[in-house]
């Protein structure tokens, strides 16, 4: 089979790495990819959002399966358009990807499916906001549409709530994505990510993971795309059955009932507080960097699972996971998530991957004059595996210690929560 992976992050390098090992696969392309995907795939210079060019390429190359990494093309309907062109693509169709594309829609699905989530209001006008805000002491104020992971404001009092509402509705800092907003009660607890393969009807949960969203150690500083992750996440130990029964299966059932079956990866961002379990958000894809610590633990053939999701035969597939934990430490450019420079030469990549139990996935990198240089905010994800979470963390940091570029930053405490438990 010929596979086309769409995207250019650490997640896509990880997917390309795994998929290239499938006995079914003869050739992998990655559009647009990065310096790392070149090692396991052929990069194609087409952006992940240029659906028309991707289809043209897929037809010309007779691609058997496209695998879509990021949310933007999914929400724009890439899977529907591939299907119309007679091509196979893994991921939810547009009206199912809406679970990530609109936070108000996600809430509507959760209410209909009786999935536990924070109390909320949806509003689209400033007058309405003034009436509603009185009902909240503290709140998360969220742009309804896609805002590249930056559309959520955590507000500790009414003043902060009103200022977030103003930024979205009056100053329109996210344009149309923020013209409708969700205000919801602020939840306390520890977050975890649960991802599942879905075929429209059947759901198979992956091993659990936990992201680290803030830029600095001890979870301080601004939010990022994710500075590291580990798997499994002890915070959800023993809750897997409930997550399946109270969250994953009800959502997939509700989507099927509406005639918009959910196929692909369903990602639930959970808040766990003792025995209480609530959903913060859904994503319509693999998480990044969660993917990089989940997929290395998968022993089964990922392509076979993806095909089963598309065909609706996931119930017949046995999915095997390795016991060893994994930990992914993200190395970012200096200044990220604010302004950062590109084009810094990266040293030590080969030394890092030479260690046993260490994998280096590229994110914002590119090849320039034969040298790997930085080309984005999140630059690399160094994954360690080992027979304990401690061993996995140590392996990841051994890898990180080999790598060097000007201004690089990484958190030093990825996985600390798991160790504390
Ligand atoms: P979301 O994109 O909805 O996951 O929000 C991004 C981040 O904001 C989450 O990972 C949480 O850290 C935080 N967050 C979102 N909603 C809430 C909430 N209701 N209570 C507390 N934190 C939240
Ligand atoms: N790591 C969070 C996300 O992929 O949305």
pLDDT value at residue 14: 98
Whether 127 has a pLDDT exceeding 90, the answer reads: no
Pocket test for ligand 2, best of 193, 230, 231, 381 (most atoms within 8 A of CB): 193
Separation of CA 183 and ligand 1 centre (Å): 11
Separation of CA 177 and ligand 2 centre (Å): 18
Least distant ligand from the CA of 288: 2
pLDDT value at residue 135: 86
Least distant ligand from the CA of 267: 2
The verdict on whether omega for the bond into residue 155 sits within 30 degrees of 0, i.e. cis, is no
C-alpha triplet 276, 278, 281: angle, nearest 5°: 160
Whether 48 has a pLDDT exceeding 90, the answer reads: yes
Ligand 1: residues with CB < 6 A are 118, 140, 142, 152, 154, 184, 186-187, 191, 213, 269, 280-281
Query: Taking Cα atoms as reference points, which of 415, 377, 379 lies closest to residue 396?
Result: 415
Please state, rounded to an integer, the average pLDDT across all residues of the chain.
95
Domains of the chain: 2-90 (3.40.50.20), 119-185 (3.30.1490.20), 190-316 (3.30.470.20), 326-420 (3.90.600.10)
Q: Phi first, then psi: give them for residue 295, nearest 5 degrees.
A: -65, -35
The pLDDT tens digits for 255-291 are 999 999 999 999 999 999 998 999 999 999 999 999 9
Whose CA is closest to atom 3 on ligand 1?
A: 281
Separation of CA 197 and ligand 1 centre (Å): 23
Pocket test for ligand 2, best of 14, 75, 97, 149 (most atoms within 8 A of CB): 149
- Contacts for 333 with CB less than 8 Å, ≥ 6 apart: 340, 341, 342, 344, 364, 374, 376, 377, 378, 379, 407, 408, 409
Of 80-94, 124-138, 211-225, 304-318, the range with the lowest mean pLDDT is: 124-138
pLDDT value at residue 124: 86
As a whole number of angstroms, the distance between CA 91 and CA 77 comes to: 10
Ligand 1: nearest atom to the Cα of 185:
19
Whose CA is closest to atom 7 on ligand 1?
A: 152
3-state secondary structure the chain: CEEEEEECCHHHHHHHHHHCCCCCCCEEEEEECCCCHHHCCEECCCCCCCHHHHHHHHHHCCCCEEEECCHHHHHCCHHHHHHHCCCCEECCCHHHHHHHHCHHHHHHHHHHCCCCECCEEEECCHHHHHHHHCCCCCEEEEECCCCCCCCEEEECCHHHHHHHHHHHHCCCCCHHHHCCEEEEECCCCEEEEEEEEEECCCEEECCCEEECCEEEHHHEEEECCCCEEEECCHHHCCCHHHHHHHHHHHHHHHHHHCCCCCEEEEEEEEEEECCEEEEEEEECCCCCCHHHHHHHHECCCHHHHHHHHHHCCHHHCCCCECCCCEEEEEEECCCCCCCCCCCCECECHHHHHHCCCEEEEECCEEEECCEEEECCCEEEEEEEECCCHHHHHHHHHHHHHHCECCCCECCCCCCHHHHHC
Separation of CA 289 and ligand 2 centre (Å): 7
Separation of CA 229 and ligand 1 centre (Å): 17
Whether 394 has a pLDDT exceeding 90, the answer reads: yes
Ligand 2: nearest atom to the Cα of 283:
5
Separation of CA 16 and ligand 1 centre (Å): 29
Whether 147 has a pLDDT exceeding 90, the answer reads: no
Whether 126 has a pLDDT exceeding 90, the answer reads: no
What angle, 0 to 180 degrees and rounded to 10, lies between the N-to-C axes of helices 126-133 and 158-169? Answer: 160
The pLDDT tens digits for 156-198 are 998 899 888 888 888 888 877 777 899 999 999 999 999 999 9
Separation of CA 152 and ligand 1 centre (Å): 7
Please check whether residue 278 is in contact with residue 270, taking contact to mean a CB–CB distance below 8 angstroms.
yes
Whose CA is closest to atom 2 on ligand 2?
A: 287
pLDDT value at residue 189: 94
Q: How confident is the model at residue 217 (pLDDT cuts 50, 70, 90)?
A: very high
β-partners of residue 278 are: 271
Of 75-84, 163-172, 259-268, 303-312, the range with the lowest mean pLDDT is: 163-172
pLDDT value at residue 203: 98
Ligand 1: nearest atom to the Cα of 278:
19
Are β-strands 152-155 and 228-231 bridged in parallel, bridged antiparallel, or unpaired? unpaired
pLDDT value at residue 391: 97
Between residues 172 and 141, the one the model is more confident about: 141
Pocket test for ligand 2, best of 10, 97, 206, 211 (most atoms within 8 A of CB): 211
Whether 131 has a pLDDT exceeding 90, the answer reads: no
Ligand 2: nearest atom to the Cα of 211:
1
As a whole number of angstroms, the distance between CA 410 and CA 394 comes to: 14
The pLDDT tens digits for 88-116 are 999 999 999 999 999 999 999 999 999 99
As a whole number of angstroms, the distance between CA 224 and CA 215 comes to: 6
Whose CA is closest to atom 5 on ligand 1?
A: 152
As a whole number of angstroms, the distance between CA 43 and CA 184 comes to: 42
Whether 129 has a pLDDT exceeding 90, the answer reads: no
Whose CA is closest to atom 9 on ligand 1?
A: 280
pLDDT value at residue 151: 87
Whose CA is closest to atom 5 on ligand 2?
A: 287
Whether 149 has a pLDDT exceeding 80, the answer reads: no
pLDDT value at residue 179: 79
β-partners of residue 43 are: 30
Whose CA is closest to atom 8 on ligand 1?
A: 152
Ligand 2: residues with CB < 6 A are 149, 211, 226, 283, 287-288, 290
Ligand 1: nearest atom to the Cα of 103:
3
- Contacts for 315 with CB less than 8 Å, ≥ 6 apart: 199, 201, 202
Least distant ligand from the CA of 69: 2
The pLDDT tens digits for 330-382 are 999 999 999 999 999 999 999 999 999 999 999 999 999 999 999 999 999 99
Other CB atoms within 10 Å distance of the CB of residue 371:
12
């Amino acid at each position: 089979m010929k596979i086309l992976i769409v995207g250019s992050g650490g997640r896509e390098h990880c997917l390309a790495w795994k998929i290239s090992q499938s006995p079914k696969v003869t050739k992998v392309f990655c559009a647009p990819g990065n310096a790392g995907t070149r090692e396991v795939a052929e990069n194609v210079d087409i952006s992940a959002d240029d659906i028309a060019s991707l289809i043209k390429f897929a037809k010309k190359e007779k691609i058997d399966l496209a695998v879509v990494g990021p949310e933007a093309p999914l929400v724009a309907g890439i899977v529907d358009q591939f299907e119309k062109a007679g091509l196979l693509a893994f991921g939810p169709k547009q009206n199912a990807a809406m679970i990530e594309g609109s936070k108000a829609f996600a809430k509507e699905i959760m209410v209909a499916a009786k999935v536990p989530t924070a109390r909320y209001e949806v509003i689209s006008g400033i007058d309405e906001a003034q009436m509603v805000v009185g009902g909240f002491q503290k709140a998360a104020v969220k742009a309804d549409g896609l805002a590249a992971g930056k559309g959520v404001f955590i507000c500790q009092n009414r003043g902060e709530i009103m200022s977030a509402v103003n930024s979205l509705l009056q100053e329109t800092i996210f344009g149309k994505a923020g013209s409708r907003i969700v205000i919801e009660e602020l939840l306390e607890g520890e977050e975890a990510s649960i991802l599942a393969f879905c075929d429209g009807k059947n759901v198979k949960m992956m091993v659990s993971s936990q992201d680290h969203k803030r830029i600095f150690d001890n979870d301080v500083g601004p939010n990022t795309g994710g500075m590291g992750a580990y798997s499994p996440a002890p915070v959800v130990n023993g809750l897997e059955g409930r997550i399946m029964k109270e969250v994953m299966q009800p959502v997939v059932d509700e989507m099927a009932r509406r005639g918009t079956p959910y196929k692909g990866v369903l990602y639930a961002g959970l808040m766990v507080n003792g025995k209480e379990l609530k959903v913060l958000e859904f994503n319509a894809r693999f998480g990044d960097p969660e993917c990089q610590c989940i997929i290395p633990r998968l022993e089964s053939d990922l392509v076979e699972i993806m095909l089963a999701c598309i065909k609706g035969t996931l119930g017949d597939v046995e999915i095997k996971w390795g016991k060893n934990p994994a930990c992914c430490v993200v190395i970012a450019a200096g200044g990220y998530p604010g302004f950062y420079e590109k084009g810094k030469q990266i040293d030590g990549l080969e030394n890092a991957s030479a260690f046993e139990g260490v994998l280096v996935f590229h994110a914002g990198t590119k090849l320039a004059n034969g040298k790997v240089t930085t080309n984005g905010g999140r630059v690399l994800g160094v994954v360690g595996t080992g027979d304990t979470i401690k061993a996995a963390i140590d392996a990841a940091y051994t890898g990180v210690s080999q790598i060097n570029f000007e201004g690089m930053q990484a958190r030093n405490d990825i996985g600390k929560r798991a160790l504390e438990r």
